[in-house]
């Protein structure tokens, strides 16, 4: 997902669903969407002072000086996001659901983020607020999606996680490692590091991204993590065709979608895998003011009794925005 004018605000919409993958599974992380609005660059002196975002200004005062670049040429942006995540078991006709399978769960959330880029390094600090359980409207969302594609309705939503408010903090860092010209295009290799902390997800991950595109500078990353994605920001001209591959390893201490409710009795839970590996392949084309992207995400098992060896889902992304 790319912005097409480096100095302009832009919007991004991402839809995850296994209908975009070569072989549908319709299970586990079965559907999700997120919308981002990313601001124009803001002056460095107020880059971290975003009072409109609850909790983020406080986090910035306490921790950002140790995490976020303070170089004089750093470029700051703000963004806000909103989305929904739906998790279901493999057997959606069982009622009650299989206790050894992925619990029914949904998340409705909103969040806000600081982005800063300095040279070949880019960082994001963000907070997300949401609700799991029936208030997430996941059952209704899946019903609409299944009706649209002609799939059978799931029967076990009465056993979904209970209503619970959640908040999570996330820090993401990208660093360009290698650039190489290949004809008229450029191969860029950059690492990524991501930390999530909170009752929804507590994890840490690291990986390598390989980007093949034209006129590319350092980019904000879009990592294969279902807790929300940060759109790439490219400091360059329109990309035309591009492709990117990602390999990532994650250590997971807590995953509410699998471990069940934190503050109330949970109707279901399974033992999550503490170590995951994932891969993502993206293909896209950037026009003058918008871009279209398709992706495929594959991972190892996320919980110990999971039946599918390589759970996967596809994604469709659209980015738009031009300087007026």
The set of residues, in sequence order, having a beta carbon less than 8 Å from that of 318 and lying 6+ positions away, is 12, 13, 290, 291, 292, 293
pLDDT at 51: 59
pLDDT tens readout for residues 142-185: 888 777 777 778 889 999 999 999 999 988 888 889 988 887 77
Q: What CA–CA distance (Å, rounded) separates 134 from 161?
A: 8
Query: Encoding tokens for residue 262?
Result: 């934190």
pTM: predicted TM-score of the whole model, two decimal places: 0.88
What secondary structure does DSSP assign to 36-101, as a single string?
A: EEEPPPB-GGGTT--TTSTTHHHHIIIIIHHHS---TT-EEEEEEEEEEEEEE-S--S-SSPPTTS
**Tally of CB atoms within 10 A around 243:** 13
The predicted pLDDT at position 253 comes to 95
Evaluate whether 25 touches 318 at the Cβ level (below 8 Å). Answer: no
Backbone angles phi, psi at 258, to 5 degrees: -105, -40
Query: What is the tally of helices (H) and strands (E) in the chain?
Result: 4, 12
* Model pLDDT, residue 313: 86
Terminal-residue alpha carbon distance, the chain: 21
With residue 109 as reference, give the H or E element that holds it: strand 105-118
Chain center to CA of 282: 14
- Give residue 34's pLDDT: 87
Q: Is 18 left (phi over 0), alpha (psi -120 to 50) or beta?
A: alpha
Q: Are 225 and 207 in contact (CB under 8 A)?
A: no
Q: What domains, with CATH codes, occur in the chain?
A: 10-320 (2.40.128.140)
Residue 35's φ and ψ, nearest 5 degrees, are -120, 135
Q: Give the pLDDT of residue 44.
A: 65
Residues of the chain with pLDDT under 50: 1-6, 218-237, 324
């Amino acid at each position: 997902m790319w912005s097409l004018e480096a100095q302009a605000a832009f919007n991004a919409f991402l839809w995850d669903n296994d209908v975009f993958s070569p072989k549908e599974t319709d299970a586990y992380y079965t559907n999700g969407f997120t919308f981002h609005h990313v601001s124009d660059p803001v002056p460095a002196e107020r880059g971290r002072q975003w009072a409109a975002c609850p909790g983020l200004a406080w986090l910035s005062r306490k921790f950002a000086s140790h995490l976020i670049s303070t170089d004089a040429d750093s470029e700051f942006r703000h963004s806000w996001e909103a989305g929904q995540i739906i998790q279901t078991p493999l057997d959606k006709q069982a009622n009650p659901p299989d206790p050894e399978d992925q619990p029914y769960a949904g998340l409705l959330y909103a969040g806000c983020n600081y982005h800063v880029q300095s040279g070949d390094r880019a960082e994001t600090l963000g907070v997300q607020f949401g609700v799991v359980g029936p208030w997430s409207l996941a059952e209704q969302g899946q019903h609409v999606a299944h009706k649209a594609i002609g799939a059978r309705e799931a029967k076990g939503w009465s056993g979904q996680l209970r209503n619970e408010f959640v908040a999570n903090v996330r820090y993401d860092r990208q660093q360009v490692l290698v650039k190489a010209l290949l004809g008229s295009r450029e191969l860029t290799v950059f690492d990524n590091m991501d930390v999530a902390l909170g009752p929804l997800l507590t994890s840490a991950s690291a990986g390598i991204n390989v980007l093949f595109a034209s006129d590319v500078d350092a980019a904000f990353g879009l990592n294969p993590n279902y807790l929300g994605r940060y759109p790439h920001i490219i400091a360059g001209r329109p990309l035309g065709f591009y492709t990117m591959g990602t390999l990532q390893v994650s250590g997971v201490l807590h995953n509410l979608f699998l471990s069940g409710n934190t503050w109330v009795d949970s109707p279901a839970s399974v033992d999550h895998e503490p170590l995951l590996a994932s891969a993502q392949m993206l293909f896209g084309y950037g026009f003058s003011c918008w871009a279209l992207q398709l992706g495929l995400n594959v991972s190892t098992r996320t919980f110990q009794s999971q039946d599918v060896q390589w759970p996967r889902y596809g994604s469709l992304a659209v980015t738009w925005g031009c300087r007026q």
